[in-house]
Amino acid sequence: MKIEMDENEWLATRFDENRAHLRAVAYRMLGSASEAEDAVQETWLKLSRSDSEAVQNLGGWLTTVLARVCLDMLRARGSRREEPLGSVAEPLSEGGPEDELVMADATGPALLVILEALSPGERVAFVLHDLFDLPFEEIARILDRTPAAARQLANRARRRVRGAEAPVVDITVHRELVNAFLAASRDGDFERLLAVLSPEVVLRADDQAVRMAAGRQRYGAPDLAPEVRGPVRVASAFKGRARGAVSALIDSEAGAVWAIAGVVRAAFVFTIAQEKITAIDIVMDPARLVRLDVKID
Report pLDDT for 32: 82
> What is d(CA 32, CA 62) in angstroms, rounded to the nearest whole number?
19
As a whole number of angstroms, the distance between CA 60 and CA 205 comes to: 27
String of DSSP letters for 259-278:
EETTEEEEEEEEEEETTEEE
Ordered by where they begin, the domains of the chain are 2-107 (1.10.1740), 117-165 (1.10.10), 168-296 (3.10.450.50)
> Which tens digit of pLDDT belongs to each residue from 204-255?
888 898 888 887 777 666 778 888 899 999 999 999 888 889 999 887 788 9
Max avg pLDDT among 178-192, 244-258, 267-281: 178-192
Question: Quick check: 254 and 272 in contact, CB under 8 A?
Answer: yes
Q: Are 191 and 232 in contact (CB under 8 A)?
A: no
| pLDDT of 6 | 65
Cβ 44 vs Cβ 16: under 8 Å: no
Average pLDDT score over residue span 67-87: 69
pLDDT at 1 over 80: no
The answer, yes or no, to whether residue 98 has pLDDT greater than 50, is no
Residue bearing the bigger pLDDT, 24 or 86:
24
C-alpha closest to that of 178 among 275, 84, 44: 275
> How are beta strands 245-250 and 227-229 bridged, if at all?
unpaired
Quote the distance between the C-alpha of residue 4 and its chain's center: 36
- Let me know how long the chain is: 297
**Pair 181, 196: CB distance under 8 Å:** yes
At residue 225, the pLDDT reads 85
